[in-house]
Structure 1
Amino acid sequence: MSNVYSFGIHNGLTPAQLFFLVMLDESAKEIGVEDLASLAAVISGLPLVPTRAKPGGATKGTSVASIVSRTPLPFEICQKILPTLTLASVRNLKIIFTHKIGAFVGRTIPVVGEVLLARDAWIISVNTVHNYNRLVRPEDKVF
């Protein structure tokens, strides 16, 4: 016979249902303004804006982040030493180097957003397992 649990207003929960509700609760605690900014950073890096023809292998289109960052940052350095990622370079597992500060910033914004969202997912996962394990009997714990 399976153990039955309660969580908040919910009664008669199986261990799986309890785990799901704890995960929802932890997600609600973690998600805030920072997550909206992270999500906006990721979306701003999608190549949704049509652009001129590009060389073969390049990602079609450009992103809002790229457009917005290139205008106020038209600076260049002597060598292509700034590492960046694009959709095409990620698919090919390749880092693209640039010497344009605006391109570097525009390509880095979505990466920062993805890192922050991954951090949130990690925190939610760790807190969910910890709090779930505090609520259940030993045989229902997740390790």
Structure 2
Amino acid sequence: MDTVEELNGTYFYAGKSNLSAAELLFMIFCENTASQFGKGVADFGAVVALVSGRNNLWTRAKPINATKGTSYASKVARAVFKKTKFPFGISLPTWLGGYTPWTAKCIMVRNIAPFAGRSIPLIGELILATDVSTITYRTIRDYNIIARSSDKIW
């Protein structure tokens, strides 16, 4: 953070003067976003995981109600694990049908390949959701430290 002052009912932050409360919040948000995504590899990996999970590759004919296409993650997982099953007949949950909880449905699988191929995008979603919640928390925390009591959030 840079020098912070209050001048005539406006704020001075990061070299910018005459900032309103909303502009101050936006500046703090941008600063926290840049610092969070500046950490590198985890965020890049999350984006790669999400993109690799998109089912935009053509595949064989499927039943009528099946999701069309397949993903890069699924193709690679099937190439690596082939038809290998979990030991002891264990079935694990995996998600089908979309990136939102409203369009996804949970099914149990015994093969490692579909479990791994469908779990990779979920890991990316979890990393990005963690980033968003961290940015939001830090932004509100930093803003409330700086802002006048009448401008504070919560």
TM-score, L = length of structure 1: 0.91
What is the CA-CA distance between 1:21 and the residue it aligns to? 0.9
Q: Is 1:72–2:83 an aligned residue pair? A: no
Q: Is 1:54–2:65 an aligned residue pair? A: no
Deviations 1:95-123 (A, max 9, x none): 01111101100100000110110011010
Distance 1:91 1:51 in 2: 25
Question: Which aligned runs of 4 or more in structure 1 are off by greater than 3 angstroms?
Answer: 77-80, 88-93
Q: What RMSD, in angstroms, separates the aligned Cα atoms of the two structures?
A: 1.9
Q: Is 1:9–2:15 an aligned residue pair? A: yes
| Residue equivalent to 1:102 | 113
| Residue equivalent to 2:3 | none
Higher helix share: 1
TM-score, L = length of structure 2: 0.84
Question: Gaps spanning 5+ residues in structure 1: where?
Answer: none
Identity %: 35
Q: Is 1:119–2:127 an aligned residue pair? A: no
Question: Gaps spanning 5+ residues in structure 2: where?
Answer: 1-7
**Aligned mate of 1:84, from 74, 94, 100:** 94
What is the CA-CA distance between 1:93 and the residue it aligns to? 4.8
Distance 2:46 2:108 in 1: 24
Deviations 1:111-141 (A, max 9, x none): 0110110011010000000001111111100
Distance 2:109 2:148 in 1: 55
Distance 1:11 1:88 in 2: 45
Higher strand share: 2
Is the 1:85–1:107 contact (alpha carbons within 8 Å) kept by the matching residues of 2? Answer: yes
1:6-45 correspondence runs (5 A): 6-31=12-37, 32-45=40-53
Amino acid in structure 1 at the alignment position of 2:45 = A
Deviations 1:44-79 (A, max 9, x none): 101011111211222110000001111111202475
